[in-house]
Amino acid sequence: MTKFEPTKISSIKQVWEEEGFSFRKSLSQNFLIDQNIVDKILNAANVKNGDVILEIGPGSGALTLSMLKRGATVYAVEIDPISTRILTKHLSVYENFHLINQDILTTDLSFLTEGTKIISNLPYHITSPIIAKISAMHGIFNDIVLMVQKEMADRMLAVAPSKNRSSFSIFSEYYFDIKSLFIVKPGCFMPKPKVDSVIISLKSKENLPYNDPSDFFKMVRKAFSQKRKMISSTLKEQDIKKALASLGLDPNSRPEQLSLKSFIDLYDLLASS
């Protein structure tokens, strides 16, 4: 059997050829082939013996193998059947490797316990629903280190006022303290993506403002549905201008100008009136 070295191009190409694997763009398959970057990601998450880690989309197994070598228990969820077959063949020697051949968006993760880490080079096309799924399990994951497309990181990290802000910025900020760690260039992947990627760290916030934030997010999404317009003209059912003014905010604010705190204050004020 070919020696399994996922970040060594000749080795991984041979494995793929043996198994009849070909890249599927529709699954955001850009595989890491740079061991330095793999090590930097694992160091950022302080991966060590005894850790329990959820990996979303292990793909060719570059991160997976290194996490297993460090003695972590890895639950990896991969949708691609051929990747799954390859990883089963080459990584089953590790007793602490658990592979789930499913779509992460429908996988029941309720077996994971508090303190589980998440490390993933995310399938970019489903970044937002994955973050939403993770946030719904608040309190389970403490260290989360993700690779996302730079544009997505810019949106998640945008501080008001900023054109990069969207309802997703507010959503991310509501649940997590987010930091940008480092950029990963297209040359570190096979095949090469068109854009830069960014490694971000997310720490779950301890106290969340609402037990059920669904109405709050409904308001935020509505405010951003017409991003260039003033909030007062998008949310017209109440006297928004007056509410903004009473909070010391510009009555003509557009959604991208408001911080998370301002949105919370506005929501609370409207809910109480």
- CB burial class (10 A; 0-12, 13-18, 19+) of residue 89? middle
Smallest gap from residue 2 Cβ to ligand SAM (A): 18
Which one among 78, 143, 173, 265 touches ligand SAM, defined by CB under 6 A? 78
The answer to whether the CB of 80 falls within 8 A of the CB of 29 is yes
Chain positions 160 to 179 lying near ligand SAM, rule: CB under 6 A, are: none
Residue range at the interface with ligand SAM (CB under 6 A); choices 28-36, 109-117, 223-231, 265-273: 28-36
Residue 60 binding ligand SAM, by CB under 6 A: yes
Distances (CA, A) of 233 to 78, 170, 174, 258: 44, 20, 24, 15
Which residue number is nearest to ligand SAM in terms of Cβ? 57
Smallest separation, CB 78 to ligand SAM (Å)? 5
Q: Are 124 and 146 contacting, i.e. CB atoms less than 8 angstroms apart?
A: no
d(CA 52, CA 88): 19
Question: Which tokens go with 225?
Answer: 């549905």
Part in contact with ligand SAM (CB under 6 A); list of ranges 59-67, 203-211, 225-233, 257-265: 59-67
Q: Please, what is the minimum distance in Å from the beta carbon of residue 13 to ligand SAM?
A: 14
For position 74 contacting ligand SAM by CB under 6 A, the verdict is: no
Please state, in angstroms and rounded to a whole number, the distance separating the CA atoms of residues 124 and 197.
10
62 binds ligand SAM (CB under 6 A): yes
Report the first-to-last Cα separation within the chain, whole angstroms. Answer: 70
State the minimum distance, in angstroms, from the CB of residue 50 to ligand SAM. 22
Residues in the interface with ligand SAM (CB under 6 A) total 23
- Tokens, residue 224: 């951003």
**Residues 115-134 contacting ligand SAM, CB under 6 A:** 121, 123, 126
